[in-house]
Structure 1
Amino acid sequence: MQKYSVNQHLIETLLTWVKSGEIAIPEIQRPFVWDSSKVRDLMDSLYQGFPIGYVIAWRNPNVRLKDGSMSEGKKILIDGQQRVTALTAAILGEYVIDKTYKRVKIKIAFNPLLEKFEVQNPAILKDNSWLPNISEAINGEVSILKLVRQYLAQNPEADEDLVEKSFTNLINIPKKQIGIIELAHDLDIETVTEIFIRINSKGVVLSQADFAMSKIASNTDYNGNILRKAIDYFCHLAISPDFYKHIEDNDKEFAKTEFFQKMKWLKSESEDLYDPSYTDMIRVAFTSQFNRGKLSDLVSLLSGRNFETRTFEDAIAEQSFAKFKVGIMNFMNETNFKRFLMIIKSAGFISPKLIRSQNALNFAYILYLKLKELNVNSVAIESYVRRWFVYSVLTGRYSGSAESFFDFDIKQINNRPFDEYLKEKEEGELSDAFWNASLPQSLDTSVASSPYFNVFLASQVKANDKGFLSKDVLVGDLISLRGDIHHLFPKDYLRKNGLERGKYNQIANYVYMQSEINIKVGNKPPKNYFELINKQIEDDNKLVSGISNHTELFENLKSNCIPESIMNMEIEDYQDFLIQRRKLMAQKIKNYYFTL
């Protein structure tokens, strides 16, 4: 079965479709990321008669309206937006939204004598041999006859025939053709994605969130275009609070909306633990509201799909947009967002560098919103969210096939008491075998960003543990203030004894330690630098560390999961040390988990 049609259309036809809304290019579906020189090169290719590739459009399904009539779906541009936006900017003279979300005009100049294009600049504006803005000529604001006469008046030495020929070719650019691949409306997202990858020579993968964004932004009937803006602006503000003033000054219409009121709190927010992308925001809002985990279902529902009759109905689309809006508003809610982050921080995850699974964080927020909706006790919610987050990190639950797990988990949470489901997962995946064998084995790695090591550090933060050999400085302080991870068996010492990188860079050999203490430890084996520490305690000189007695020293070793036997260890003890410490770290993580 033919899944798409391929046709050549005049550029002016394409631009007419864009202006009339037949092809939907949402206002900020994507900021225009091309620089002006790429727009110049595109115009030059068209002038020279070179191909500029295909654009891909996916027709929305035909939808049954409330009065029983059918509405023919618009085309949504899913590839080629940068090229089409460049054409509207250069030929129609329209504004584009640049990378900083400012409305700007891109003006392309043309030299008919050299038949050359250039981005307009002050030098060109002073040079009579250049037409400073091609859109004025191509738009028909000036006739070809008048254009030539004006140019020759300013450039009397110019060859009249060459000028006329060049301007004629320029004005005829909209008569050039561009290929449009139109995908059938009844294709599912997976098929559309596959076609896109096969056609697109760059092999760029469109995510299902991209399709969802296109679907949201192209819908003006239920204010999808404003909803899309809210998502985009929230994500931008979360990273750059100073962007608030830009919205206020440059998008006054949006500034009047309830969405803007809901995100105002971000203007003075500097927290960076959870800076969501639009994918994160869509996923959390959708899953928490619709009890589904697959974004392809969101696209179908926003299109008005009736899963039972397999038809498309306007009433379902309207209901879905309303429901999705609630999810977005819940996500943006200051109380929800801040309380959720407070819960994550209370589990010891105080820095974004301790969080390597954005999907685990996303589902934890989904869980928080869902349990709140189900009126679960607020104290219980805190414990459940902490525990599920750490459970999902330890088991890598959302590291692969995340959508499937989102879908499964949300259905379980919606249909049964959460404590039952959590207990079932813990009994099945966090048994004694996990804590005593699997977890110590997982700690056998040199990757400092390992989720298991991050959980270990979180357990230290939660316990208010002090850094290695520190009297007062906490592990949490060292993490927050960009402290460094150091080696218990010094790296240089191990390297000099013939160990390779993967052997000396073991997370069981890592510890947060003050740099000044690390410098004093140097490249000595543990046996030697502990002799210095013991002597320091005896002489009360504090030359290496602030620790003043053996009770403090042993407590420090215990909280950092370091066996006391390290005090007599040299190179031949290294492997045994790693085994002992992994077991201690795993035990600490276990104790920590069951106190969450």
Structure 2
Amino acid sequence: MAQFSVNSYSVEQIINWIRSKEIAIPEIQRPFVWDGKKVRDLIDSLYKGFPIGYIVTWKNPNIKLKDGTISQGKKILIDGQQRVTALQTAIAMEEVLNNNYQKKRIKIAFNPLNEKFEVSNPAINKDKKWIADIAEIFSTPFDIYNCVENYCRDNDIKDDKSKLFGTIQRVQLIKAINLGVIELSSTLSIEEVTEIFIRINSKGVVLSQADFAMSKISSDERFCGSDIRKTIDYFCHFIKAPNDYASIVKNDKEFAESPIHTNIKWVLKEQDDIYMPSYNDVLRVAFTHKFLRGKIEDLVSLLSGRNFETRENIEEVAQKSFYLLKEGTDAFVNETNFKRYLMILHSIGIINKLLTRSQNVLNFGYILYLALKDRKVESYLIEKIVRKWIVLSMLTGRYSVSQEDIIEADIKKFMTQEPMQYLQSVEERELSDIFWHNTLVEKLNVILKSSPVFIVFLMAQIKMNAR
């Protein structure tokens, strides 16, 4: 049974999908990376009738609402984001975010005499042979007769008005061109959709489960999805590129005036680079901390309202999941929590990013810190458990294979058993006398800078001030 359908939609209809937010763009692809020349080439290809490739969407599951009706799931744009966004800015006059989080429009000019497209610039704007912005041709209302008359008058053209009319009309008809859209079934799993993406677009950025989760968050309009997305997106950006702060605040007034801005602004002054989380890391920590689950795939299902027992998608499940995720995200970016965790890392000898080879270990350490704090464990005990667990995980390579399953099992046991007892039971099993006298010695005989055992040795030297 086919898990997809192939349909044709006009350029105008696809643009309307974006305007009406019927379609969501995976967060990893959100900034627009094409330059003006690529936008120009796309418009030129459409004008000449050249193929521009299929657009691929994946439909989110439908959700049963409280009144018993069904909410139709939105589409996630899997492949074709740059092309769709190029059409948005060139034809629909919409500004797009570039890599520096600056909003700008890319204007494409058209010369009807030689049927040539160019990126608008000051020289073109002054040259009457050019229509400086083709978006005017697609605007409503647009009087093509007046346009031709004015163009002929400005350029002293007395003949060939009908040819100019046909040329400009051909540009206008770009909106009516049908593009191929592959629509993937809502029954497909994230793994299957990712595999499809890899096979049809091997040169593209491979989308991860976190990308789909961020798309789901971004497309939400009811349960604080926008707040969660901005918290994650801007926190991760500020910690790595604080110099972009002024530009982001200037271009996102809503964010600048929101509590989110107040809650994360502190990170601009954070100088420590030993834990530099990406949006993937924030999602991982927030989700596992609050849901006690390890698979990000489950997060997408829960945000879609998935009831794993009845296999239905229910609004109440989606609402609870969004609110729990917001709590987890807020806890992650909390200044006190983040700085306390950094202090724990320093206290075990991690004083340099070169000593943080495993992001999974650092993520689980923060998950454990936040979860034990929720459980009201005393601060000194939390710090002791987290310190020992991080070192144990590094020495044993605990989260290097099948990490999601192991992460889920560990956090559930820490939250259902007495934390110190669980730590001691794992320590006795994993760090036995055989480990210290045989395994560890053998590993230290092979000195590699990237070896976790050698890194822990360096951490021990730092902690004991025996450098």
Residue 422 of structure 2 aligns with an amino acid whose one-letter code is Y
| Residue 269 of structure 2 corresponds to residue 268 of structure 1 | yes
Residue 314 of structure 1 aligns with an amino acid whose one-letter code is E
| 2:324 counterpart residue number | 323
Cα distance in structure 1, aligned partners of 2:236 and 2:276: 7
Residue 423 of structure 2 aligns with an amino acid whose one-letter code is L
Residue 41 of structure 2 aligns with an amino acid whose one-letter code is D
Q: In the TM superposition, what is the alpha-carbon distance from 1:6 to its structure 2 partner?
A: 1.0
Q: In the TM superposition, what is the alpha-carbon distance from 1:253 to its structure 2 partner?
A: 1.4
Q: In the TM superposition, what is the alpha-carbon distance from 1:312 to its structure 2 partner?
A: 0.8
Q: In the TM superposition, what is the alpha-carbon distance from 1:301 to its structure 2 partner?
A: 0.6
* C-alpha contact 1:235 1:276 (8 A) present in aligned 2: yes
Cα distance in structure 2, aligned partners of 1:170 and 1:199: 30
| 2:249 counterpart residue number | 248
| 1:77 counterpart residue number | 77
Cα distance in structure 1, aligned partners of 2:6 and 2:141: 33
| 2:147 counterpart residue number | 147
Structure 2, unpaired ranges of 5+: none
Cα distance in structure 2, aligned partners of 1:283 and 1:201: 26
Cα distance in structure 2, aligned partners of 1:143 and 1:258: 47
Cα shift readout 1:205-261 (whole Å, capped 9, x = no counterpart)? 211000100000000111212321111011011112233333433322122322222
Q: In the TM superposition, what is the alpha-carbon distance from 1:385 to its structure 2 partner?
A: 1.0
| 2:13 counterpart residue number | 13
The alignment partner of 1:273 has SS state of coil
* C-alpha contact 1:241 1:269 (8 A) present in aligned 2: no
Residue 117 of structure 2 aligns with an amino acid whose one-letter code is F
Cα distance in structure 1, aligned partners of 2:286 and 2:92: 37
Map of 1:530-541 to 2, 5 A cutoff?
none
The alignment partner of 1:172 has SS state of helix
Cα distance in structure 1, aligned partners of 2:314 and 2:283: 22
Q: In the TM superposition, what is the alpha-carbon distance from 1:29 to its structure 2 partner?
A: 6.4
Residue 12 of structure 1 aligns with an amino acid whose one-letter code is E
Cα distance in structure 1, aligned partners of 2:143 and 2:440: 77
| 1:257 counterpart residue number | 258
Structure 1 range deviating more: 223-232 or 356-365: 223-232
Cα shift readout 1:156-211 (whole Å, capped 9, x = no counterpart)? 35854543333122111111121111111222222222222223242642110001
TM-score scaled to structure 2, two decimals? 0.95
| 1:134 counterpart residue number | 134
Cα distance in structure 2, aligned partners of 1:394 and 1:40: 54
| 2:67 counterpart residue number | 67
| 1:33 counterpart residue number | 33
Cα distance in structure 1, aligned partners of 2:188 and 2:174: 34
Cα distance in structure 2, aligned partners of 1:22 and 1:442: 55
Q: In the TM superposition, what is the alpha-carbon distance from 1:113 to its structure 2 partner?
A: 2.4
The alignment partner of 2:242 has SS state of coil
Q: Identity across aligned pairs (percent)?
A: 54
| 1:587 counterpart residue number | none
Cα shift readout 1:45-97 (whole Å, capped 9, x = no counterpart)? 11121111112211121111111211121212222222111111111010101
Residue 164 of structure 2 aligns with an amino acid whose one-letter code is V
Q: In the TM superposition, what is the alpha-carbon distance from 1:364 to its structure 2 partner?
A: 0.5
C-alpha distance 165-220 of structure 1, shift in aligned 2 (>3 A): same
Cα shift readout 1:421-451 (whole Å, capped 9, x = no counterpart)? 2222222222222223322332344642332
Residue 411 of structure 1 aligns with an amino acid whose one-letter code is K
Residue 335 of structure 2 aligns with an amino acid whose one-letter code is E
Residue 83 of structure 1 aligns with an amino acid whose one-letter code is R
| 2:295 counterpart residue number | 294
| 2:47 counterpart residue number | 47
Residue 255 of structure 1 aligns with an amino acid whose one-letter code is A
Structure 1 range deviating more: 64-73 or 122-131: 122-131
| 1:396 counterpart residue number | 397
Cα distance in structure 2, aligned partners of 1:27 and 1:283: 15
Cα distance in structure 1, aligned partners of 2:110 and 2:446: 60
Count of aligned pairs: 466
| Residue 203 of structure 2 corresponds to residue 193 of structure 1 | no
| 1:477 counterpart residue number | none
C-alpha distance 47-329 of structure 1, shift in aligned 2 (>3 A): same
Structure 1 range deviating more: 443-452 or 288-297: 443-452
* C-alpha contact 1:305 1:312 (8 A) present in aligned 2: yes
Residue 392 of structure 2 aligns with an amino acid whose one-letter code is Y
| Residue 23 of structure 2 corresponds to residue 23 of structure 1 | yes
Larger radius of gyration: 1
Q: In the TM superposition, what is the alpha-carbon distance from 1:271 to its structure 2 partner?
A: 2.0
Q: In the TM superposition, what is the alpha-carbon distance from 1:413 to its structure 2 partner?
A: 1.4
C-alpha distance 445-106 of structure 1, shift in aligned 2 (>3 A): farther
Cα distance in structure 2, aligned partners of 1:101 and 1:32: 9
The alignment partner of 1:205 has SS state of coil
Residue 449 of structure 2 aligns with an amino acid whose one-letter code is A
TM-score scaled to structure 1, two decimals? 0.75
C-alpha distance 458-300 of structure 1, shift in aligned 2 (>3 A): same
Cα distance in structure 2, aligned partners of 1:259 and 1:444: 50
* C-alpha contact 2:235 2:264 (8 A) present in aligned 1: yes
Residue 49 of structure 1 aligns with an amino acid whose one-letter code is G
Whose relative contact order is higher, 1 or 2, with alpha carbons under 8 Å and at least 6 apart?
2
Map of 1:436-515 to 2, 5 A cutoff?
436-445=437-446, 447-466=448-467
* C-alpha contact 1:108 1:120 (8 A) present in aligned 2: yes
| 2:98 counterpart residue number | 98
* C-alpha contact 1:6 1:181 (8 A) present in aligned 2: yes
* C-alpha contact 2:10 2:175 (8 A) present in aligned 1: yes
| Residue 361 of structure 2 corresponds to residue 360 of structure 1 | yes
Cα distance in structure 2, aligned partners of 1:86 and 1:268: 36
* C-alpha contact 2:28 2:211 (8 A) present in aligned 1: no
Q: In the TM superposition, what is the alpha-carbon distance from 1:145 to its structure 2 partner?
A: 1.7
Residue 44 of structure 2 aligns with an amino acid whose one-letter code is D
Cα distance in structure 1, aligned partners of 2:180 and 2:425: 55
* C-alpha contact 2:62 2:71 (8 A) present in aligned 1: yes
C-alpha distance 161-421 of structure 1, shift in aligned 2 (>3 A): same
Cα distance in structure 2, aligned partners of 1:294 and 1:465: 41
Residue 44 of structure 1 aligns with an amino acid whose one-letter code is D
Residue 370 of structure 1 aligns with an amino acid whose one-letter code is A
* C-alpha contact 1:27 1:225 (8 A) present in aligned 2: no
Residue 64 of structure 1 aligns with an amino acid whose one-letter code is K
* C-alpha contact 1:355 1:451 (8 A) present in aligned 2: no
Cα distance in structure 1, aligned partners of 2:28 and 2:453: 39
Residue 372 of structure 2 aligns with an amino acid whose one-letter code is L
Cα distance in structure 2, aligned partners of 1:34 and 1:403: 35
Q: In the TM superposition, what is the alpha-carbon distance from 1:25 to its structure 2 partner?
A: 4.0
* C-alpha contact 2:46 2:174 (8 A) present in aligned 1: yes
The alignment partner of 1:33 has SS state of coil
Residue 439 of structure 1 aligns with an amino acid whose one-letter code is L
